Amino acid sequence: MFNFRNHFKMKKIYLLAAGVVFSFYSCSHTEEANAPVGEEDVQSGELVVKTKAMETPEAQAFKGSDIKSFNVETGEITFVNFTYHDICDSLAFDRKFIFYLEDDSLFTATAVNGFSSYVINDLVFYYDGKRMYLKDGYPDFAVYSNINEQRAQMLQAREEAAERRKPAWERFIRYLDENNLLTDSDSNVAEDNEAQPDVPVPPVVYDLSATITTGDGLTGTVFIGKSILSFNPGTREIVFSDYNILSNLYEFAPVRLDIFREGNLLLSATVITSDNPQTVNSLVFLIDTKKQDGFYRPAEFRYYILDGYPALENPGPDREEAWNTFVQYLNDTGKIAG
C-alpha cells in the first residue's frame, strides 16, 4: 500500500525487489486461486470483482459494467464511474482481487504499486498513481537492460502461472470483447486528470500508519494499524499479519521510520538490522534477520521497537507520552500480547 510520491524513481525500488532471494518466486501468492477453469459460454454472465484482505471478508470492488476499457496490449484497465482515487485505498499490501464470472472464480490478482518491495510471479493488480493494470507479475523486468539467470527463472515462473490461468483468462477476455470493452490504444486517463488540476484529491488517513523516508526523499507507507497482529510490551516484539508486508525493508536500513496516529506524527525511529549492529541512542525499529546458506529468510524475520540499540530500559521523558499513546492504541485494538 505504499504511497508513491516519485514515480520516476521507481527503477531504484525495482532493483531492490529483483534482489530478493529466489525462494520468493516459488511462493506464488495466488497459485491455487488461478487454477484453470473450463471454457463456457459467457454471453449472459456477469463479471463481479471482489476484494479481500487478511482481516476482512470479501466485499464487491467493481462489476463488469463499471469497466470502461481494457487494453489487451498493456493490461491497463479504466473505469466509467470512478477513478483510481476511489479504489487506491483498497490496493493495500494484503489486498487480493478475486474475479468471478457466472459465480465461477476465474483468478485472483494481488494488489501492488510502484513502491512495493517484494516479488510476485503471478497475476497482479498494479497501479502507478494514475493508471491501473493487470500484469503477469511484479516487478516488470522490462526496465532492465539484461535478464540474468535469477530473472529468467522468475520470468519462467510467470509464464507457467499464465499458462495455468489461460482458460480462465480467455473467458475474461471473451467477456470484455462481447461487451465492447477491449482496446489496443492508450487511454486518456492522464489527460483527464491533467484537465482538472484544481480538483484536490484528499489523502487517505489511517488510524495508525508507518512510513519510511529514504535519503533521496522517496517516501512510502510500510504498514498500517490493521496489519499489526500483536505487540508484546515486555519484549517489544511487534508481529505482523503477513511477512510480505515488510519483506524488503531491511534493504533500506538504516532509514527513518515515522509512525502516525490519525495523520499526526507520533514517533520516529531508525530502522536497523541485527546483522549489522550499531549504537543508536534513540528509538529503533529493529529487524532481527536470519541468514542461511548466504540467503535471508524474510519469513523468519522478527521485528522490535526498542528504546535505542543496545536497548535502553525506558523511552525517556521526551517520548513517554507519545509512547503511551502508541501502546494505548494497540491495547484498544486488542493487539497487546502477554
Neighbours of 210 (CB within 10 A): 22
Helix, strand, coil percentages in the chain from 3-state DSSP, rounded to 5:
25, 30, 45
Q: Bridge partners of 59?
A: 51
pLDDT of 243-266, one tens digit each?
Answer: 767 867 887 888 899 999 988 899
pLDDT of 80-135, one tens digit each?
Answer: 877 666 665 555 545 788 999 988 999 999 887 765 656 788 999 887 767 889 99
Q: Which helix (H) or strand (E) holds 327?
A: helix 320-332
Q: What is the mean pLDDT of residues 63-72?
A: 92
Q: Which three cell numbers stand for residue 241?
A: 499479519
Measured CA to CA, the distance from residue 254 to residue 115 in angstroms comes to 18
Looking at the predicted structure, is the pLDDT value of residue 272 above 80? yes
- Positive or negative: CA dihedral 61, 110, 76, 169: negative
Chain position carrying cell 476511489 = 86
pLDDT of residue 40: 45
Q: Which three cell numbers stand for residue 332?
A: 484498544
Looking at the predicted structure, is the pLDDT value of residue 4 above 60? no
Q: Are 71 and 114 in contact (CB under 8 A)?
A: no
- Which of 10-14, 57-61, 102-106, 303-307 shows the lowest mean pLDDT across its residues? 10-14
Q: Are 280 and 309 in contact (CB under 8 A)?
A: yes
Measured CA to CA, the distance from residue 106 to residue 284 in angstroms comes to 44
pLDDT of residue 199: 44
Q: For residue 299, what are the CA distances in angstroms to 186, 223, 250, 265, 278?
A: 39, 16, 13, 29, 24
Q: Where are the domains of the chain?
A: 7-194, 208-332
Measured CA to CA, the distance from residue 290 to residue 285 in angstroms comes to 16
pLDDT of residue 175: 94
Measured CA to CA, the distance from residue 160 to residue 17 in angstroms comes to 21
Average pLDDT across the chain, whole number: 74
Looking at the predicted structure, is the pLDDT value of residue 79 above 50? yes
Q: What is the mean pLDDT of residues 157-179?
A: 94
Chain position carrying cell 517489544 = 236
86 three-state secondary structure? helix
Query: Count of residues for the chain?
Result: 338
The set of residues, in sequence order, having a beta carbon less than 8 Å from that of 158 and lying 6+ positions away, is 121, 122, 136, 137
